[in-house]
Chain A
Amino acid sequence: MKRRNLMMSVAAGAMLAVSMGAASAQDVIRMGAAAPKTGPLAGGADVTHWPAVRLWVHQVNEAGGLQLADGPAMIELIEYDDQTNPQQTIQAAQRMATQDQVDFMVAPYSTGLNLAAAPIFSQLGYPQITGSNVTNQQPELSAQFPGMFFVLGRTGVMAEDTAQVLVDLRDAGEIGDRVALVNVADAFGIEMAEISRDVLEENGFEIVYQTSYPLGTQDIAPIIDAARAAEPDAFIAWSYPADTFALTDQAIVQNFEPSVFFTAVATAFPSFQERFGDQAEGVMGMGGVNPDDPAFQEFAEAHMELTGQLPDYWASASTYATLEILGQAIEATGSKDREVVMAYLQDSSNEYETVLGPIQFNEMNDNERYWTVGQWQDGVFRGVAARGRDGASDVILKDGWD
């Protein structure tokens, strides 16, 4: 009696397993993503990276998956926290490749982690389409790592365009020659400060105050006080999220009212607007988008619906675009074979349709069309300067904080 019952249940179990196996004969593309969920850059990744990645996977799967030559394939996303530690990013990449055996990997978040992971991506043969990476080393990097692609832009260009905004304002007679320049003391801040200072001085500006401050500085009051004492027409800060908020906060408290107020990273975050409300009007920052573009508006709506938060006005769209590019490359080749997709990506005659508009990589795997400077106008962070993108708004002067 008992043995028969046992045999029956085993048989039933086997049939269930077989039927389930038969139902999931559909192809699956495994995608790995290692990015900060803890550590100093967790805040930025939480706004810019993770929601955009999850949104893309969700939307592709809702539409039935990516169309391969032999049928549709759903995306399975495997996430890892790299703790903002480059060593962990590299180890996660190795784990994803060898243990999880992912077909493709989402590029890491931020310049530093992308640069650290470039060798391992190249060694393992995975395309690395970067959407939150801003560096000047494109030529050297693409020569060394032919599988690395750049969407967000180059340091030198961002710094030049920011300085150029000031030059245009000065030539139109709207501001004077005096500039205060501060930067966070890490590779990003130092590089940006050097390049922008050179452009400004070449164009006849006077740097009346310049300083750098350590990453994680909590008391920013002395810097704003010194900048204010120098009476500049423009204030440029190559800052990271925490300092961006702190600098703006102190400028309001101390009544520091230059005609141009620029803080670099996180100015484009929706939380900047939430924090400062009407006082954010006229503040400039890195990046920007064309918010009137229906593609971006659809993206923002879908982003809000799925993740409960708005995308930022710079690298969220760029991160999403990198996945659109990958998806289009996979569908165009009909294959999830990395080498085939890589060859397609490296063919610089291919163009991709993304939320940022059309994107095409040049011979150095660089996208040459991106937004460089944005400004808060009427509650929206609009792009005011760009290379190769339409829809730039006019720059307005900052009219005090009240």
Chain B
Amino acid sequence: MAESDYQLLDRYATGNGAAFEELVKRHQKTIYNLAYRMLENHADAADLAQRTFVQAFLHHQNFKRESSFRTWLYQIGMNLCRNAIRDRARRVHEDVHELELAGSQDIFAEVAGAELKDRLGRAIRTLPTRQKEALVLRVYHDHAFAEIGTIMSCSEGTAKANYHHAVDRLRRALVSGEG
């Protein structure tokens, strides 16, 4: 039977390296996906996922076990994402649509196919951070609103409202783009 996160964490606290590895492997994809959804590029997502785990293991004594380890990781990751987005907003950031040139034969088809996706991507990118957080956690990570509230440090109702506003904004963005 697989050990729970708490048990692994206890073993890590006693200096067990295997427990550390198991915990990272168990959650690495989730945290990377979260970071990628929020930051939208591999380098930043990989960096942020790594920092999330480093912060979690550095401060594991502060984890009071009122929520699951995964939720706590989400919280740390989301805080780091928020900081990264805030820092990024300070810099002049020219948004260029990323194209994989090496393998592409028909660049025009690729550009046309990416157009719709890009419109949605742009709309998601322009969402306010809280709305984007709620959307990402709900749509891609299938969290209940109560858990989203815990991760976002807000009430369940606020999380729900943020999510609804995000969907409404996206709908309006797509309708205006198609029209």
- Whether A associates with B in a native complex is no
Q: Which residues of B contact A (CB under 8 A)?
A: none
Q: Which residues of A contact B (CB under 8 A)?
A: none
